Structure 1
């Protein structure tokens, strides 16, 4: 009972945290791992309630203590991580200690072997430091990115994945160094694409499949540096027989076009067009057709806004020429079933920019007028 009053005693000023450590000394140094774990758990609970009261010198001593305990028996590690989570929230944390803590975790903790709640604690520590110690963490360079990749690798729980996806998004959007690990960061996230998750009945956590889809899409579409790895994956999934994979891939492509340029798209345009054309021509799903048309619109808009050098190849004109080549002859066959899909594809591309509209209408309008006069007679 005496131990349960520690948080109140620290808050009232009757005890300092270091005096609590001394009072718990026998359990913290006990040769039995379960006893040590209970002692550290109690100390961590005190820190979680009193972290805002800690002085800088106390934080320094506690960080050193907890880092050393990361080398302890595996039964002790969950309680150690809880203490480090409390310390990661401390305003009094001196410069350099955030980096020290993360290096110790990356080096000493095999995150994949922890329970879900303890893995979540690791993600929380990383998130806290990214929110308050960004410049220090950026000083680690690509080592921080690599350390996080190792932490996330193999994660299965949707509660943890939502947090992990946010961390990856922040790594990219806040311009942390990815160094030579761009492909590794892509692989550790794209392995979940497309999301295949059905929440269990009466799930108390309330995580929906759509939450994971949107969170992962925000990561995959966040940087052009993923393009060379992502675009082949999207083409593969659009061409699959799974409806949800088609929809997710087309919607992700649509999102990517907001951040890509001609350079990222160039090598994949023929395959992207072939996949979109096939889906619009052949699908029985109105949703796939709509998402395919939206993706074509976004691709055309992306090519339209890319700044051209004087000696650069004009990808927009060649892309539109391919669309016209595959669609315009169907307009001359009004009894055929492909006339409307062809018209929709041409409309989606033409609506993307003034240049695209001019290119397509100048090629299609004469043909339509000819057909009108021919059949009007």
Structure 2
């Protein structure tokens, strides 16, 4: 993994995270994952390293790192356990939203505590009947004097129990046409609100264990109008689409981490395991798997880093982030499956980590906008831009 374009401080940060994963995460992850146990000790170490402040600039935090560095840190975390990357992904998007669009009061209230991890944040977009069609959401925040009264429901909300701040995408003007003009982001602060918000249940999952994914129910929840992000009702859809560019890069980086872990385990196993009197990597079929896995991983990483650099230049990068998320997630799934093939029967055993990689990998295909949605975004931007030149 190349870190040549990072600053010296960023390279050191990536190394610190890599060492944390190798020394603390990998020895204990299997037991925690199989027990579906929240990784409290790991999260505390992530706070100490500064991972929750990666996207938060001065004066509120230590200074944001480049998106390229953020991608590589996320890859390292996911290499150890994809759930650790999930524990900070939505938090980073909310931090970006607050810095880019928040009022000075909102920034001052939340960003310093978010930088240390004292306040953890998540975003609530998906609804039980809506899926990828965000503009069809039914969660509504109706104005009542200086308050908004929120009713509706969200699902698949990561870190919902342990996050004290929720960036809620909802309709403040259900009659607006087109629909996106009536959508706002409301900052639901659990420390402020009373009755009306219920974290109803943790959803059972194939993978992505340890970190909770929940259903949220809003029943006439009252929040101050001042909690609308940026104080600007109707701007939420555009704000969130910009935030999701980072979110999709984060998901792409998670796929890189899972794919890299699967390749590393497969490569090691192929050198140790022998059949017909030689290490199995020398058999052409196994060697071809390894070569293809490494090529896919390298291509996915370069595509993701290209999108990260595009974002850092301040350019529109929804197509680039969509391409990275699409390609990296599909590659991660294929690499995880090939790792199972190389391990043979042991790849199906819960005593080996490759079965976990195979369970975790599908999340990146459907999360943060399904890959079918990514293809739609890419096609629309190809037509709009009128060129495929870099």
* Common fold: TM-score over 0.5: no
TM-score between the two structures when normalised by the length of structure 1: 0.28
* Higher share in helix: 1
Relative contact order, higher structure (CA 8 A, sep 6+) = 2
* Higher share in strand: 2
